[in-house]
């Protein structure tokens, strides 16, 4: 089985295309495509460039499709789809409100403010 996979990746697809496709997969992404490129004998700079470009390709497609998908899911009669679409919409609405309230000067230290707010909320004094 291993030989079949190696033959498919190396001989049929080629090294560059196999690294490119591997970097587009959601779970593997750059963590798997760069080591795979090294295993296939590609130079580090070439593997990095191909992997990063392949990792960015799905982003515009997802951004274009996500709104229509969420609208379809919220109008669906399936309760689970409805609940998931409402959860995603509410989460994104809260995130947008949070991001709009942050001024440019606060961006550098926003992680610190969020951390302190969480720690202060947990403390019992």
* Tokens 């001989």, residue located: 11
For the chain, give every domain's residue range: 2-56, 60-122
pTM (2 decimals)?
0.59
Q: Is 74 exposed, middle or buried (0-12, 13-18, 19+ CB in 10 A)?
A: middle
- Whether 69 shows a pLDDT value over 80: the answer reads yes
- Whether 20 shows a pLDDT value over 60: the answer reads yes
Tens of pLDDT, residue by residue over 74-91, are 888 889 989 999 998 899
Would you state the structure tokens that stand for residue 117, as one six-digit string? 């707010």
pLDDT band at residue 107 using 50, 70 and 90 as cut-offs: low
């Amino acid at each position: 089985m291993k030989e079949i996979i190696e033959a498919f990746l190396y001989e049929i697809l080629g090294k560059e295309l196999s690294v490119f496709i591997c970097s587009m997969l959601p779970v593997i992404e750059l963590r798997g495509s760069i080591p795979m490129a090294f295993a296939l004998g590609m130079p580090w700079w070439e593997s990095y460039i191909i992997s990063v470009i392949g990792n960015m390709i799905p982003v515009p497609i997802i951004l274009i499709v996500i709104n229509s998908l969420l609208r379809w899911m919220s109008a669906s009669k399936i309760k689970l789809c409805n609940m998931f679409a409402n959860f995603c919409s509410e989460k994104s609405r809260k995130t947008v409100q949070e991001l709009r309230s942050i001024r440019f000067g606060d961006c550098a230290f926003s992680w610190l403010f969020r951390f302190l707010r969480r720690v202060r909320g947990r403390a019992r004094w």
